[in-house]
Amino acid sequence: MKKITDIKELRSIQLNILCEIHKFCTAHDITYFLSSGTLLGAVRHKGYIPWDDDLDIYMPRASYERFLQQYHDDGRYRIYAPDRMKKYFYTFAKLVDTSTRLVEEETQGFTIGVYVDIFPLDYIDDDPAVQQHIFDKKKLLYKIRRCKIAKSNPLRSKLGYCCYKMLPVTVTHLEKMIYRLIATSSPTHTVCNLTEAGPLTIKGCFPAADVERQVEIEFEGRKFMTMAGYDDYLTHTYGDYMKLPPVEQRVTHRFEAYWL
């Protein structure tokens, strides 16, 4: 394997994956939005945040499930998702470049390549008290799932890890419980990324009106799609998002990438 040492080369691979998603979604009328730090970078820098090294997109639940059903792996790009493989480490989908290999600290040997993260965007009850109940329950379910999959203790408590690990429930059953909890079919006025990698508190929920329409946005000299209400979403997520964070908060992810 040849190690990828230039961040520009890594980003080029990720951008090609994003172009593949954009091309497929445009052809099949599937809605997606640049999101999280990727959207922040598009608005503030017209591309990657200078210290960032990954790409994130949201898809409304219906579009997310259509994408997983209709996208056919073409040899180079492959969908990784919880319902597509056993002991999949994550709780959301990724489109992966299979000509590469990515080594991440947290995945503990799970094999994957360079990817773009694809998060389902779900409706959530408008009542903050109900939202908090959902967040508390999903946090517990994700914690149990992580203990079932992880090869070492992901918790501070060794006793808690052993208890969760020994619970008589399968990862498949946990994923069904999580799906029933977060995949709400009835529209509300509030949406959220309710996966394990989503916001830690209900402050990460934002108005559904923000994602009622798509708009084009520039990213690294190319045009992609995002939500029409991106200003409101970014304000909910980051506050004064045009202001650069302190230097100590400008962190990258920890992984190594290789060409196979």
Specify the pLDDT at position 181: 96
For every residue of 116-135, DSSP letters joined together read EEEEEEEEE-S-HHHHHHHH
H/E run at residue 193: none
Distances (CA, A) of 195 to 28, 118, 142: 25, 10, 9
pLDDT at 1 over 80: yes
Specify the pLDDT at position 128: 97
Say whether pTM exceeds 0.85: yes
pLDDT at 106 over 80: no
Specify the pLDDT at position 225: 98
pLDDT over 90, % of the chain: 84
Is residue 257 within 8 Å of residue 114, measured between CB atoms?
yes
Mean pLDDT score of the chain, rounded to an integer?
A: 94
Is residue 230 within 8 Å of residue 58, measured between CB atoms?
no
Is residue 161 within 8 Å of residue 155, measured between CB atoms?
yes
Highest mean pLDDT among 1-5, 79-83, 158-162, 217-221: 217-221
- Average pLDDT estimate for 14-34: 98
The separation between the first and the last C-alpha atoms of the chain, rounded to the nearest angstrom, is 5
pLDDT digits (tens, 9 = 90+) for 130-189: 999 999 999 999 999 999 988 888 898 999 999 999 999 999 999 999 999 999 889 999
- Average pLDDT estimate for 21-35: 98
pLDDT digits (tens, 9 = 90+) for 81-97: 988 887 788 999 999 99
Please report which confidence band the pLDDT of residue 71 belongs to, taking 50, 70 and 90 as the band edges: very high
Please report which confidence band the pLDDT of residue 109 belongs to, taking 50, 70 and 90 as the band edges: low
**How far apart are the C-alpha atoms of 44 and 102, rounded to whole Å?**
28
Specify the pLDDT at position 39: 98
